[in-house]
Structure 1
């Protein structure tokens, strides 16, 4: 007996997500769009308020000047006496009062614009507040859809898993980049401090060498060198830490601009008696090394900034792919 149409198997195809998930996803998307629109309005409202406030400040300054002119003619002042002698005080006072009234009108108009702009900004802020945490809602809606997709299996789930895996790797890389950038900033600061004390030591060494600075100059010079030695040790440690952080990213360190010999070289200065010329040469050598290390660190910072930008761009692209897979 042939089967009836009602007994025929349903066509096999991709399952649709539950209505509740799709409804929330659509609502969250509308909220994101409305939030972006309100934020654009807010930027315009802020610009309008700043412009209105600047206009009001100008108008109030002009009004103050006009009011001062009227006050001078109304009071017992040299201006009033001179105007009275010339016989035109009343005419001038009327003119000044007219200009004052005109300035009052301009100031009142500007104040009204400020009030209107502030009201517009307040309305936008109220609308944004009413939307609630749009970003969290959108993240939650996407997560619910993603969980359903993973549970249903299929090609979409595999694509999302690939995106999630790559996103996780990039998030971890962001952390490593941030740590390396912090280490690079610390190294740059330590090198800058060392360079400053070396310059000071160099100046005192020059004075001691060429002008026979005597015991006082020698004491100051060696105090500067002591401090420079300590700062160079700090810079050396900072550069070593930077090299470790760069290693976590698969990057080379400051390559060939190490400062391993700084501390040992400086220790020799104080353990042995060298001529002033020898000390000056040592300072010059240290300055050259610090300069080279600083340039290397600057190069590292530039590379890290480029890598950070590349990671951000790829994360944005992956986020787009994820949303497309979930909204499709």
Structure 2
């Protein structure tokens, strides 16, 4: 009877742990959604203004004629078009992010439906177990209850660590892909500087396009990683904060997309990607160390439980 109800309690405590985790992630996603929606509104307004600037320069007028004669109009028009393109790309990136966050919110609502009764189920099982303990060997029951409680908590935390580590591996993989594309772009860019011509320029741009996709994917995975770390960070002293990492793509989309012809921009973006990769790997190593410690702790608890049962 003890084993049966203990198993049920472990399962319910796991469901309670998931419920807390998903509620925390949901609240964080909802906060992010508001920020992204505000950013989309700002970018939409900015894009309208940038397009007006382009249209103004394209009109025929005295000022434009003078600028054309002195050769300043075409440079100004090119700059304004670049700025409009940059805002357009940032807006598209923000809209993608909004769609992904909205999808994650809906997914969490669905998951929470499956654990909505976890707290009530736990209270019911706890009450039933207390009754059994009163009727049987109270000392044995209480000790076994403590061990099972601890085992359930450690087991749930190990699950959280494994999920966080897997999320970290996803980010690491995406950043590896981004670095590969940026390294290729850097190589073709160097060739382009020494007279590679249109072909090398096109190949370089193709690698930057691929890097753009990989950076977006890395940012999406980074967001998932951050959500997994919310629960892990609460019950450990690792003190992990990756809020700065979540802004990584901003650097990429603010600068490189417009100035992709500038070799220094490619190198800066590559260094940013390498820094992010090093940071993620460092966090994963901390999580793996914590996982090993918790697995040893869990093994000790299980050994104590077996010894307690064998004594009877």
TM-score by length of 2: 0.52
Matched, 1:197 2:184: no
Segments of 5+ residues of structure 2 without an aligned counterpart are 1-130
Matched, 1:320 2:306: no
Match in the other structure for 2:139 = 155
Segments of 5+ residues of structure 1 without an aligned counterpart are 1-146
Residue number among 247, 264, 277 corresponding to 1:260 in the alignment: 247
Match in the other structure for 1:66 = none
Is the contact made by 1:188 and 1:294 (CA closer than 8 Å) also made in structure 2?
A: yes
Match in the other structure for 2:279 = 296
Is the contact made by 2:256 and 2:266 (CA closer than 8 Å) also made in structure 1?
A: no
Query: How far 1:173 sits from its partner (Å)?
Result: 0.9
Deviating above 4 A after TM superposition, structure 1's stretches of 4 or more consecutive aligned residues are 147-151, 251-254, 267-270
Match in the other structure for 1:231 = 214
Report the structure number with the largest CA radius of gyration.
1
Larger RCO (alpha carbons 8 Å, 6+ apart): 2
Query: How far 1:234 sits from its partner (Å)?
Result: 0.8
Q: Can you list the C-alpha shifts for 1:97-138, whole angstroms capped at 9, x where unaligned?
A: xxxxxxxxxxxxxxxxxxxxxxxxxxxxxxxxxxxxxxxxxx
TM-score by length of 1: 0.49
Matched, 1:186 2:173: no
Alignment of 1:124-135 (within 5 A): none
Following the alignment from structure 2 to structure 1, what is the Cα–Cα distance between the partners of residues 205 and 199?
10
Query: How far 1:269 sits from its partner (Å)?
Result: 4.3
SS at 1:241's partner residue? helix
Alignment of 1:12-161 (within 5 A): 151-161=135-145
RMSD value over aligned CA atoms? 2.4
Following the alignment from structure 1 to structure 2, what is the Cα–Cα distance between the partners of residues 172 and 227?
38
Query: How far 1:324 sits from its partner (Å)?
Result: 2.1
Query: How far 1:264 sits from its partner (Å)?
Result: 5.8
SS at 2:287's partner residue? helix
Query: How far 1:197 sits from its partner (Å)?
Result: 0.6
Q: Can you list the C-alpha shifts for 1:37-71, whole angstroms capped at 9, x where unaligned?
A: xxxxxxxxxxxxxxxxxxxxxxxxxxxxxxxxxxx
Is the contact made by 1:232 and 1:262 (CA closer than 8 Å) also made in structure 2?
A: yes
